[in-house]
Amino acid sequence: MAIFGFWNIDSLRNPHTDERELPRCAADFALERSLDVLFLIECGIPFQLLMAAFKGEPEYYPISCGERFKVLARFDPKLMQRLPLPVPNDRFDIWHLMLPLQEDVLLTVVHGLDKRNSSSAKQELFLQQVVAALSYFENKVGHDRSIVLGDFNANPFESPVASAHCMNAVISRAIAQSGPRRLLNRSYPYFYNPMWNLYGDEPPQSAPATYYYRGSDPLELHWHMLDQVLIRPSLLNRFDFNTLDIVTAVRSTRLTGARGTPDRARFSDHLPVVFGVDLTAENAKGAIHA
């Protein structure tokens, strides 16, 4: 089982003047959850400061990535190859993960355009670029075992995530596995969005979503599921729903304040997400059971 975690830590500011406890908490998150890969979004903290927070615990290694992200893994960085984007963009990165005795997968991390500074149409245009780049690499490697994770700055039901010409991510496993959607003589492959399962008050020990905002509009959701993991249908049978979690505490340290909303003063205005995928290769499974 490969375990992945990601967290928008809202830390592109000067790390020497940022008094929040982020390096220690990020390290504790990785260690407590036994993460194989940790993705930090909006992270300006230098790798050396992050690595120092592990204090001699099991080794993590820095993975090549853009300046907006920091990625740490428990394996040789050569096994997670960063792919050159057809059109450079600092808001997403794509890697080809090739672990021994595991099925190889494509991993994409995104930091979507925010609503305050971008229209919905502009958010959609960005995610179209993400899908186009990922589709290019899916064709190149010859499979669509793909995972897209990160802060989309849009909810699961909003157009940038749900529309066919964007992420085309759906709530239903059956729909995701029914084959690509066809519109105007063009096929649009689905993603499945498991985050729908966590949107709301269940399970009670978790948070209703990953981001809280109390706006002034008459229609206000308060809780927003901006941080999501999307998977191609080819990985649905390998996705471990029992591991999918919105993290509200790390080693007994609460990431939320008195009202249960993210404690942005000490940590971040987003909550982390963790999930697991069984990538064991079929021939390796046979060898294990032999």
Phi/psi of residue 34, each to 5°?
50, 50
The three-class DSSP label of residue 93 is: strand
Q: Which domains does the chain have, with CATH numbers?
A: 2-289 (3.60.10.10)
Q: Look at residues 91, 11, 2, 26 and name the one whose alpha carbon lies nearest to residue 247.
A: 26
Query: CA 209, CA 101: separation in Å to the nearest integer?
Result: 35
Residues of the chain with pLDDT under 70: 13-19, 57, 283-290
Phi/psi of residue 105, each to 5°?
-140, 160
Q: Are 152 and 161 in contact (CB under 8 A)?
A: yes
Q: Is 111 exposed, middle or buried (0-12, 13-18, 19+ CB in 10 A)?
A: buried
Q: What is the pLDDT of residues 222-256, one digit of tens each?
A: 999 999 999 999 999 999 999 999 999 999 899 99
Query: What does the pLDDT read at residue 19?
Result: 66
**pTM tops 0.85:** yes
Query: What does the pLDDT read at residue 205?
Result: 80
Query: CA 134, CA 137: separation in Å to the nearest integer?
Result: 5
Query: What does the pLDDT read at residue 20?
Result: 79
Angstrom distances, CA of residue 166 to CA of 13, 51, 125: 30, 36, 8
